Amino acid sequence: MGAQFITGSFEKLEQLKNPKLTQFVSDCISLCKPEKVFVSNGSETDLRFIREESLKNGEESKLAAKGHTIHFDSAEDQGRAVDDTKILIPTGTGLGSSISTKERNEGLAEVRGIMNGIMEGRTMYVQFHCLGPLNSTISIPCAQITDSAYVTHTENLLYRQGYEEFRRQGASAKFLKFVHSAGELENAVTKNIGKRRIYIDLAGETVYSVNTQYAGNSAGLKKLALRLTIRRASEQGGWLSEHMYLAGVSGPGGRETYFSGAFPSACGKTSTAMVRGGTIVGDDISYLWFDEQKQVRAANAERGMFGIITDVNAKDDPLIWEVLHSPNDLIFSNVLKLADGKVFWMGSGEPTPAKGINYAGEWHEGKADANGKPVKPSHPNARFAVSLSAFKNSDANLDNPKGVPLGGIIYGGRDYDTSVPVQQSFGWEHGIIAYGASLESQTTTATIGALDVRKFDPMANRDFLSISISKYLQSNLDFGASAKEPPPIFSVNYFLKGKDGKFLNAKRDKEVWLKWMELRVHGDAGAIETPTGFIPKYGDLKKLFKEVLGYDYSPASYGEQFTLRIPENLAKMERIIKIYEEMPNAPEAVLRVLGAQKARLLAAQKNGGYITPGKLE
């Protein structure tokens, strides 16, 4: 190894006595040719070293509040780079038209070519993490290599340290490998965005990410690992790796019921995980598996939050607000930095400052781009990264190796015109197919590309699939079939609009939907059967609105929100059926379940296109 190991680093690596790990590190050194190598064992000293490195190299700068820093990504690097992300597979093994792939040898040659010598004169950071709790049957050790102290720091906030897990699992550890370089920097920001590549090598369980800093593209354990674990889960069977939050909802008599929920990015997942009175286990990625009795358990793959900061305000998000305003090890990204060391973001409820610095440089009120379009003070996908331990409502079982018992599963998307605010499926198969596999959502700023376009996004996981949709759905169906008692499945829609184009629900109404679902899990609330699922009864919601939000929920609101919109639902079924008819090897159940739902909608249409819940009872 030609590079110079920073004091103690070589020994830290050697002590893990893992030839495959040493091989991976040595391969990355030969490829990237760093000047120095730092190996972290996750000790407080090593974590501090990384934080200092990031301040020294300018990727982060200090803010006024203790522990707070700010990082900027390039203006072209403000979200997940879908077009530059590819799954590498051998010729002749396509994954279907919706998954972007590249021939493996060609992709490896290209990305390794770009990475050749990319760390010359720089330090390579090597660190170890664990996806899922330590000492668990679900623990997955991971090795992250990067030349970005910001990425390293971010991962230290978001993921469990894994040095001890590598030691526990020994030389047989089947670890995931991530190698990243921010590439050439200009003002501490990635310069060569044109050469940004995020290539996922399935055969080697290795991800290469280069010329990007945005954490969704660079932090290996986040969405890069998700692609690898979806495939692992499907091949091994008996567990699922999902784009789901995980949180406890309190019910009558002090009981706590855990829900996991899949929502596309920027569609209310974090705010659902953070509702008042609940406890958060995770806000982005969950693993689901079984205990010895075949009951479903769930755990957070991560242990931190990389949350969207836009619209986080004191009234709607008091718990996040408090963390963002307390001394914490916390990184803001792509917000507006003010001269007094404070920050500003859109939707905070605070007055917009006259000037500051943002990802595009100096910003002042009235600033316009080359086309005369106003430049916003902060990016809509601006974020914060912080450990979940900072939150008062962090769940006591966050690190429990056995996870938590899963009470229910939720699917939700940004749907302006079709689905009711909340409903329960007729069972596992119906929920997986009619809700999860049929999920559609309007696109958001979390990905680079056109906004507000309706996109088919099965299980909110389409961007992260590394196996065909057919295979992935089959794994989901099989999982429920082998459970002793699969958890009930629900769908929610926070974005339904009325005839006037206004949202029909307030942000906090989700608290009521969650309480209703909690009651349903335990058989403590009735429901009305409709062609698309079970919907709440007015009386139950009236009581819950009063208890939870303290106001009288009117029959008119209920009628409007829970009207079955048959033309929109039928149109949706047509769109989804077409997708699955054209998909090779879709599980047999898919067209059967969708066809049955379409038939129920057609039968109901005899009573009109728009049926109020009263008429469905």
Which residues of the chain form contacts with ligand SPV (CB under 6 A)?
A: 80, 215-216, 222-223, 265, 284, 306, 446
- Given the residues 32, 130, 142, 267, select the one marked as catalytic: 267
- Measured between alpha carbons, how far is 352 from 333 in angstroms, rounded to an integer? 18
Considering only 147, 284, 317, 395, the residue that binds Mn ion (CB under 5 A) is: 284
Say whether residue 457 binds Mn ion (CB under 5 A): no
Residue whose CB is less far from ligand SPV, 180 or 222: 222
Give the nearest distance from C-beta 306 to ligand SPV in angstroms. 5
SS3 state of residue 477: helix
Amino acid at 199: Y
Q: Measured on CA atoms in the order 238, 241, 244, 246, is the torsion positive or negative?
A: positive
Residue whose CB is less far from ligand SPV, 38 or 464: 464
Residue whose CB is less far from Mn ion, 242 or 284: 284
Residue whose CB is less far from ligand SPV, 115 or 308: 308
Residue whose CB is less far from ligand SPV, 46 or 73: 73
Q: Which of 305, 522, 302, 509 is nearest to 408 (CA)?
A: 522
Q: Where do the DSSP E strands lie in 188-346?
A: 189-190, 197-201, 206-210, 240-242, 244-250, 256-262, 279-282, 286-290, 296-300, 304-308, 330-333, 336-337, 343-344
Give the nearest distance from C-beta 284 to Mn ion in angstroms. 4
Give the nearest distance from C-beta 518 to Mn ion in angstroms. 24
Give the nearest distance from C-beta 79 to ligand SPV in angstroms. 6
- Measured between alpha carbons, how far is 177 from 208 in angstroms, rounded to an integer? 9
Residue 222 contacts which entry, Mn ion, ligand SPV, none (Cβ below 5-8 A, type-dependent): ligand SPV
Residue 361: which residues within 8 A CB-CB, separation 6 or more?
Answer: none
Task: Spell out the alpha helix ranges (H) of 237-339.
Answer: 269-273, 318-324
Residue 107 contacts which entry, ligand SPV, Mn ion, none (Cβ below 5-8 A, type-dependent): none
Neighbours of 353 (CB within 10 A): 17
> Hey, what are 187's tokens?
């003002």
Residue whose CB is less far from Mn ion, 463 or 518: 463
Residue 306 contacts which entry, Mn ion, ligand SPV, none (Cβ below 5-8 A, type-dependent): ligand SPV
Give the nearest distance from C-beta 303 to ligand SPV in angstroms. 15
SS3 state of residue 445: coil
267 a catalytic residue:
yes
DSSP annotation of 374 reads B
Mask: binding to Mn ion, 246-275, rule CB under 5 A, as x and -?
-------------------x----------
Site for Mn ion in 111-130 (CB under 5 A): none
- Measured between alpha carbons, how far is 160 from 149 in angstroms, rounded to an integer? 17
Residue 215 contacts which entry, ligand SPV, Mn ion, none (Cβ below 5-8 A, type-dependent): ligand SPV
Confirm if 278 and 249 have CB atoms less than 8 A apart: yes
Give the nearest distance from C-beta 69 to ligand SPV in angstroms. 18
Residues that bind Mn ion (CB under 5 A): 265, 284
Give the catalytic positions in this structure: 267
